[in-house]
Amino acid sequence: MFAAKKELDLTTSHASLVIGLFEKPEKFTGELAGLDERFEGQLTELVRSGDLSAKLKNITKVHSFGKIGAKRLYFVGLGKEKELSFDKLRSSFGKVFKQLKASKLEETAVYLDTFVTEEISSLDAAHALSEAMALATYQFDGYKQKSNEPEKRLEKVTVYCASLVEEDVKASLSVGYAFGRGTNSARTLVNTPGNLLTATDMANYATDLAVKYDFDLEILEKAEIEKLGMGAFLAVNKGSEEPPKMIVLKYQGKEEWTDVIGLVGKGITFDTGGYSIKTKAGIVGMKTDMGGAAAVLGAMEIIGEIRPEQNVVAVIPSTDNMISGGAFKPDDVITSMNGKTIEVLNTDAEGRLVLADAVTYAKHHGANYLVDVATLTGGVITALGLHTTGAMTNHDGLYKQVLDSAVEAGEQMWQLPLFETEKERVRNSKVADLNNSPGSEGHALVAGAFIGEFTEGTPWVHLDIAGTATTSKDHDLGPAGATGVMTRTLALFVERFEPIEI
C-alpha cells in the first residue's frame, strides 16, 4: 500500500504527484523550484494569476504534458503556514484523496516535505496522510447487483520525504492507516442492516478480532447471562427471537492486570422501541443503534494493530429490542446484575438498561476506569445538534484525557452536567430503586445519570453519539452514512492513557 523514499525524482513515472502549497511566498523554492523550472516558470505564473490557489483545501489539477514523470500534479492549498493544524491537514489530505478516487487512479505519489511546518512534523504529516486516505476513500458497497468489471481503487501511495528515515515514515504511515481502517470497520458495522448483523453476528465478528489479534475472548450465552443475574439486559431481549450475547474482549499490554480501562459499547442491533414503539419515521435507521459497540470494536482493532502498553477490557451487550407477547412492558420491575431494582417506564429507554449490566460486568473483569459509548438519546441531538458528541463524567481528570484524544481525532465533544437533581430523578420510584425514564426534560442528562448509578464510584466518562454516529452528507473524510465516531478517540485515549488517582 505505502512506499517511502527519501529523494524526489521528478523523472519517475507516477499517475499523479500530490504537492502541498502554502500562501506566500509566491516563488517556488527548494525542490519545487526545480519543478517550476521544468515547467519554464509557468507554475509561478499560475500562482500569481490566482489559477493555482493556496487557499485552504483548494485542489488544483495541472497536467504535466510530459515535462516530468508524473502525468498530473495535484496542488493542495494549505492556507497560511502558521495557521495549519493537524486536523486541517488531515481534512486537506482527505479532500485530495477523494478527488484521486473520483479520477479512478490506482496509484499516486505525495511529496510529504511540502506539508510539513514547524508545528507539524514529518511523522505527523505521514500519519495524517494515511489516516485521511483510509477514511476519505471508504465506501459501503451495499447489496445492489454489481458489474462484472472490477472497480479501480487507489492501491499504492509512494511518499517522498527527505528529512526522515524511510522505516520511520513507513511506521507512521502504518499507524495512521490502522486508525483509518479501524474507523472504517466501525462504519461498516453501523451501515449493515439489522437482519444481517444480529447479536450472534456481532459475537462472531468479535471472535474474528480475538483470533487475529490474540485477544482473550468471552461470549456469554443466554443461560450464563441468566445465571449472573443480568436482569436489565435480559429484559430488553425478552421480545426477541435472537439470543442475546454479552461480548468481552481483553487486551493485556502490561505484565499485571492493573490500571484496566473498560470500554463499554451499546450493541442494540435494531431498536423498535418495544411497546413504547417508535414512529414510522423514527424507526427507520434503527439498525445504527449499535454505533457504540461498533466504535468499541473499531477501537479494539486499532489497539490490536498498535499494541499499546495498556490493559483494556471491552464489554458489549448485544441484542435487538423487539415487540412480542413476551416482551418487557412499561410498569415492569426488573433486577440488574448489581442488585438494584428498576421500574420500567419506557421500553424505548433500553440502551441504559443493557449498559447498566455491561458496566457492572466490566467492573467484574477488573475495570478501574470506564468509558461507555452509546447512541443513547434524541435529547443530545436537541441539545448539541448533529456534529457534537455529548459527554458526562464523574471524574474531571479522566474526562480531560478523553477530551484531549477527541480533539486530536478531530471529533467534537461537549461536557454536559451531572447534577444531583438528575440523580434524584432516576432514583425517584415508589416501587424500585431506580426508574429508567423520569421524563423528557433533560433527557440526555437523566440517561447518563442512570448509567452513572452503576459505576459505583469508578471513574467514568459517558459518550452519547446519537447525533454523531451517522451523517446525511458527504464530507472530506468520508461519505454520507455511518461516521465511525469515537473509534479513533477511544484508541488514542487508550494509547496515551495516564493512570489517575482514584
For the question of residue 352 being annotated catalytic, the response is: yes
**CB–CB of 380/412 below 8 Å?**
no
For the question of residue 181 being annotated catalytic, the response is: no
- Report the candidate in 73, 87, 74, 78 with the shortest Cα–Cα distance to residue 132: 87
- Count of H-run helices and E-run strands, the chain: 15, 20
DSSP 3-state assignment of 253?
Answer: coil
Long-range contacts of 161-167 (CB under 8 A, 24+ apart): 161/4, 161/5, 161/6, 161/112, 161/113, 161/122, 161/126, 162/6, 162/7, 162/8, 162/31, 162/113, 163/113, 163/116, 163/122, 164/6, 164/122, 164/123, 166/4, 166/5, 166/6, 167/4
Unique residue bearing C-alpha cell 500534479:
73
Read off the C-alpha cell for 37. 523550472
From 5, 38, 101, 278, the catalytic residue: 278
What H or E segment, with its residue span, contains residue 269?
strand 267-271
From 98, 266, 352, 425, the catalytic residue: 352
Alpha carbons 448 and 328: distance in angstroms, whole number: 22
Alpha carbons 406 and 410: distance in angstroms, whole number: 6
Q: What is the DSSP pairing of strand 17-21 with strand 72-77?
A: parallel
**CB–CB of 89/125 below 8 Å?**
yes
Q: What is the DSSP pairing of strand 267-271 with strand 311-321?
A: parallel
The DSSP code sequence of 331-372 is T-EEE-TTS-EEE-S-TT--HHHHHHHHHHHHHHTTEEEEEE
Read off the C-alpha cell for 47. 500562482
Alpha carbons 236 and 79: distance in angstroms, whole number: 52
DSSP 3-state assignment of 437?
Answer: coil
Residues taking part in catalysis = 278, 352
